[in-house]
Structure 1
Amino acid sequence: MSNSSVDLASQLCSRLCHDLLSPVGALMNGLELLADEKDPAMRQRCFELLEQSAKASTDKLKFFRLAFGAAGGFGEKVSTDEVRSLVDALVAGNDRITVSWVLGAAELSKPAAKVLLNFAHIALDALMRGGSIDIAAEVRGGTCEIAVRAMGRKVAFDRTIGDALEGRLAPEALSGRTAAAHMLHVIAAEAGGGLQHAVAEDALVLGAVLPEE
Structure 2
Amino acid sequence: MTDPTHLASLMCSRLCHDLLSPVGGMTNGVELLADETDPMMREQCIDLLGQGARRTATKLRFFRLAFGAAGGFDAQLPIADVKELIDALAAEGRDIRVEWTIGVDGLPKAAVKVLLNFGLLAIEALPRGGTVTVAVEDSGSAHEIAVRAEGMRIAFDAEVGEALDGRIPLESLNAHTAPAELIRLVAQGCGGGLQHAKSDNALVLGAILPHGSGMSAADA
TM superposition score category, shorter chain reference: over 0.9
Deviating more after overlay: 110-119 vs 71-80: 71-80
Give 2:216's aligned residue. Answer: none
State whether residues 134 and 147 of structure 2, in contact with CA within 8 Å, keep that contact through their aligned partners in structure 1: yes
Give 1:45's aligned residue. Answer: 44
Number of aligned residues: 212
Matched, 1:111 2:114: no
Residue pairs, 1:1-213, within 5 angstroms: 4-73=3-72, 75-213=74-212
State the TM-score, normalized to the length of structure 2: 0.93
Deviating more after overlay: 164-173 vs 111-120: 164-173
Shift of 1:73: 4.2
Shift of 1:4: 1.2
CA distance in 2, matches of 1:151, 1:69: 28
- Secondary structure (helix, strand or coil) at the match of 2:3 reads helix
State the TM-score, normalized to the length of structure 1: 0.96
CA distance in 1, matches of 2:12, 2:122: 20
Shift of 1:142: 2.4
Deviating more after overlay: 91-100 vs 191-200: 91-100
Amino acid in structure 2 at the alignment position of 1:64: F
State whether residues 71 and 77 of structure 2, in contact with CA within 8 Å, keep that contact through their aligned partners in structure 1: no
Q: 1:3 to 1:166 in 2, by over 3 A?
A: closer
Shift of 1:74: 6.2
State whether residues 128 and 155 of structure 1, in contact with CA within 8 Å, keep that contact through their aligned partners in structure 2: yes
Shift of 1:86: 1.0
* Unmatched tracts of structure 2, length 5 or more: 213-220
Q: 1:86 to 1:42 in 2, by over 3 A?
A: same
- Secondary structure (helix, strand or coil) at the match of 1:38 reads coil
The runs of 4+ residues in structure 1 deviating greater than 6 Å are: none
Shift of 1:75: 1.6
